[in-house]
Structure 1
Amino acid sequence: MITVNAMGDACPIPVIKAKKALQELQGPEVVEVLVDNEIAVQNVTKMASSTGGDVTSEKISEREFKVIIRTDRVMPRTEVKEEEVVCHPDRRSDTVVVIASDRMGEGNDALGAVLIKGFLFAVSQLDELPKAILFYNGGAKLTCEGSDSLEDLKTMEAQGVEIMTCGTCLDYYGLKEKLQVGSVTNMYSIVETMDQAGKIIRP
């Protein structure tokens, strides 16, 4: 693994450092980019995705983020100029996604589990990410240990998406100690977040 330290660097420097590291690869490799803000995560992610790399990211602390780029493609070596790198604005919209079940739709439960995983992955690939994703009732299971969607949720959280799970629901299912991403919230905050949303999406 190659580590690129872009902590404290303003855009476009994190993107330039990451792109140079990718161009220096001789073959399949993993590049880890460390940054200190969500906009940098968004811009490095967008650049890496455009090269065909498999990109995930994670919020380590309030001012520490990690972007992981896995690639098996050798990029052409060209000079990376600062003025040629575009810094994109915040990708988050005022949309809130509400997840009330660990299944999507009615009918076969196994199919429903596959569909909700696909849904959350699709949300993570939107050009404009939601500002928050709310999980309650059975949906609370998706933010906990064993969930197939944790990687996608952590990637969105690192890009500034608020991942909020109902505390009452976690208690009911005995999952409070197994929460793996985001924060615990209450019904007042859930209602307030939905009330302030420009658009609400319910799968």
Structure 2
Amino acid sequence: MASIVDTRGKPCPQPVILTRKVLLKFQAATTIVDNEISRHNVTRMAKKNGFTVRAEEREDGIYLHIHARKDPASSSIKKIPDPAQTVSPGDTVLSVQDEFMGSGDKDLGRILIRGFFHTLAESIDDPSLIPDKIVFYNVGVKLVSEDSPILSDLKMLEDQGVDILSCGICIGHFGLKDRIGVGIISNMYDIAEILLSAGKVINL
């Protein structure tokens, strides 16, 4: 029987952390969440590490039934790799915490950040100017919304292999869950690992 991981009422990234701990030990879990962002984050973590996930919606929450996927020899996964292992040594990570660039005049800052990302998108032939990952959090998550002034530039970067991640709790705070135009919704566990394991972090 799978262990029950009740994460209802727990903020990001607790649902991911608690589920991961149980999966490392038992290779199966039923995680109960109470919102779509937690459902997304737990499901993504589990599937990324080779587990199957079946969601069951009940009146008291969303039950995520997680089990190890069997290989042809019927052997199960022995270990879940840390999210940090997805960051190669020397990776350049761009950290974006606001919707404008620099301090001072915000209108000017919005012009600057549009110019910055447009420059990156137009420089895809020069690897030295392209980050490996871009992480958006706090007010910065507004830049990945469907009406973002830099949406087309971010899509160009994503098409070239740049990973774009946004803080799930921030997305929920600003009511953007159904308005994300690019990248994936992540969680603070993954974001912390990415920032701390990067070769270089550039803060805007």
Map of 1:140 onto structure 2? 141
Matches within 5 A, 1:1-203: 94-124=91-121, 125=123, 127-128=126-127, 129-203=130-204
Could you tell me how far 1:123 is from its partner in structure 2? 2.5
Task: Provide TM-score, normalisation by structure 2.
Answer: 0.52
SS for the counterpart of 1:138 is helix
SS for the counterpart of 2:178 is helix
Could you tell me how far 1:115 is from its partner in structure 2? 0.8
Task: Provide TM-score, normalisation by structure 1.
Answer: 0.53
C-alpha distance in 2, partners of 1:123/1:134? 15
C-alpha distance in 2, partners of 1:132/1:123? 13
> Which sections of structure 1, spanning at least 5 residues, go unmatched?
1-92
Could you tell me how far 1:122 is from its partner in structure 2? 2.2
SS for the counterpart of 1:176 is coil
Moved over 4 A (4+): none
Cα displacement string for residues 73-128 of structure 1 (whole angstroms, at most 9, x for unaligned residues): xxxxxxxxxxxxxxxxxxxx710000000011112211111111111122332511
Question: Letter of the aligned partner of 2:114 in structure 1?
Answer: K
Map of 2:51 onto structure 1? none
Cα displacement string for residues 26-69 of structure 1 (whole angstroms, at most 9, x for unaligned residues): xxxxxxxxxxxxxxxxxxxxxxxxxxxxxxxxxxxxxxxxxxxx
C-alpha distance in 2, partners of 1:139/1:101? 4
SS for the counterpart of 2:185 is strand
Report percent identity of matched pairs: 44
C-alpha distance in 1, partners of 2:131/2:170? 22
C-alpha distance in 1, partners of 2:190/2:117? 22
C-alpha distance in 1, partners of 2:118/2:188? 26
| Aligned alpha-carbon RMSD (Å) | 1.2
